[in-house]
């Protein structure tokens, strides 16, 4: 059974500093974080506006500044919020596949890669913004390392259970999983012509074949 620990539910600075205590309800804070994430995806960090974030959430700019002192802080908090939901542990919980064998977990999650996904939309944007913003870069690296650790745990558990060839590199398998997820989303979301996009059944069959190829060799 896969057992992974999700990151904390606090959405503060990615620098590791203690998050500031925020006023207001948890639901209001989440509305603002989702609004900030949407603003980030549509306009990028530089063009995002606190006033626009507040309007999306149906609130005032004061509600934003009561929780975060500046735009950079609210945007980093929004990214942390989205990234937490995107981590493997969170995806397992949302998909209802917790308790399945590790390869089945990867196969089930891999089958969903052709579907629209807000968290991967955010991730694509973050790679561009991270080049010019140290806070966003640090937030991105924290997420990437957490995601790698959780996938590594699944692969290692699979090896220990005799479901994956122990001679295969765990790092290579982890990187392949993550590269496939990001690459598939990037191509499909960019508007790739339908004739170059497989059907869901075709995609699922390929994922199943790739997972099967990692099984220990018989004899």
**97 and 151 housed in the same domain:** yes
Domain assignment present for residue 5? The answer is no
**94 and 161 housed in the same domain:** yes
Proportion of the chain above pLDDT 70, given as a percent? 87
pLDDT in tens, 97-115: 666 677 788 787 787 788 8
Q: Which residue has the higher pLDDT, 2 or 26?
A: 26
| Dist CA 7 CA 112 (whole Å) | 22
**47 and 91 housed in the same domain:** no
Q: Are 200 and 154 in contact (CB under 8 A)?
A: no
Mean pLDDT of the chain: 83
pLDDT in tens, 150-174: 999 989 999 999 999 999 999 999 9
Domain assignment present for residue 60? The answer is yes
Instruction: Identify the pLDDT of residue 102.
Output: 75
24, pLDDT greater than 50: no
Write down the residue that tokens 């937490």 correspond to.
84
Tokens of 8: 């904390």
Q: Are 133 and 203 in contact (CB under 8 A)?
A: no
44, pLDDT greater than 80: yes
Reported as a pLDDT band with limits 50, 70 and 90, residue 33 is very high
**35 and 117 housed in the same domain:** no
CA 146 to chain centre: 10
Tell me how many helices (H) and strands (E) the chain has. 10, 0
φ/ψ of residue 82, rounded to 5: -70, -40
Range with the lowest mean pLDDT among 58-62, 74-78, 94-98, 101-105?
94-98
**101 and 153 housed in the same domain:** yes
Instruction: Identify the pLDDT of residue 141.
Output: 94
10, pLDDT greater than 60: no
12, pLDDT greater than 70: no
Tokens of 95: 């998909």
Average pLDDT over residues 139-158: 92
Domain assignment present for residue 82? The answer is no
Reported as a pLDDT band with limits 50, 70 and 90, residue 13 is very low
CB atoms within 10 A of CB 22: 17
Q: Which residue has the higher pLDDT, 192 or 22?
A: 192
Q: Are 105 and 142 in contact (CB under 8 A)?
A: no
**169 and 120 housed in the same domain:** yes
**124 and 33 housed in the same domain:** no
pLDDT in tens, 181-208: 889 988 988 889 999 999 989 998 998 8
Instruction: Identify the pLDDT of residue 17.
Output: 42
Instruction: Report the candidate in 21, 23, 12 with the shortest Cα–Cα distance to residue 66.
Output: 23
Domain assignment present for residue 203? The answer is yes
Helices assigned H by DSSP within 48-189: 50-57, 61-65, 71-86, 88-95, 102-110, 118-129, 134-160, 170-189
Q: How many domains does the chain have?
A: 2
Instruction: Identify the pLDDT of residue 41.
Output: 83
**94 and 193 housed in the same domain:** yes
Instruction: Identify the pLDDT of residue 171.
Output: 96
CATH code, domain carrying 153: 1.10.357
Instruction: Report the candidate in 118, 152, 125 with the shortest Cα–Cα distance to residue 139.
Output: 125
**64 and 149 housed in the same domain:** no
Instruction: Report the candidate in 118, 53, 125 with the shortest Cα–Cα distance to residue 84.
Output: 118
Residue numbers of the domain that contains 67 = 23-71
**199 and 154 housed in the same domain:** yes
Angle, alpha carbons 163-165-171 (nearest 5°):
105
């Amino acid at each position: 059974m896969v057992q992974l620990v999700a990151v904390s539910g606090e959405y503060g600075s990615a620098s590791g500093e203690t998050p500031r205590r925020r006023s207001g309800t948890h639901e209001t804070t989440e509305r603002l974080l989702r609004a900030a994430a949407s603003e980030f995806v549509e306009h990028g960090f530089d063009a995002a506006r606190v006033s626009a974030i507040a309007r999306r959430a149906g609130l005032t700019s004061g509600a934003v500044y009561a929780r975060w002192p500046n735009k950079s802080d609210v945007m980093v908090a929004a990214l942390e919020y989205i990234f937490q939901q995107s981590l493997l542990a969170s995806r397992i919980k949302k998909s209802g596949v917790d308790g399945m064998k590790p390869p089945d977990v990867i196969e089930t999650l891999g089958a969903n890669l052709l579907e629209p996904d807000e968290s991967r939309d955010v991730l694509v944007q973050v790679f561009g913004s991270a080049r010019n913003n140290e806070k966003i870069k640090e937030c991105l690296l924290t997420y990437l390392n957490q995601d790698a650790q959780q996938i590594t745990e699944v692969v290692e558990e699979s090896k220990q259970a005799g479901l994956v060839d122990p001679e295969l590199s765990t790092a290579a398998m982890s990187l392949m999983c993550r590269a496939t997820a990001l690459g598939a989303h990037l191509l499909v979301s960019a508007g790739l012509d339908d004739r170059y996009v497989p059907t869901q059944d075709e995609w699922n069959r390929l994922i199943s074949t790739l997972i099967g190829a990692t099984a220990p060799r018989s004899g």
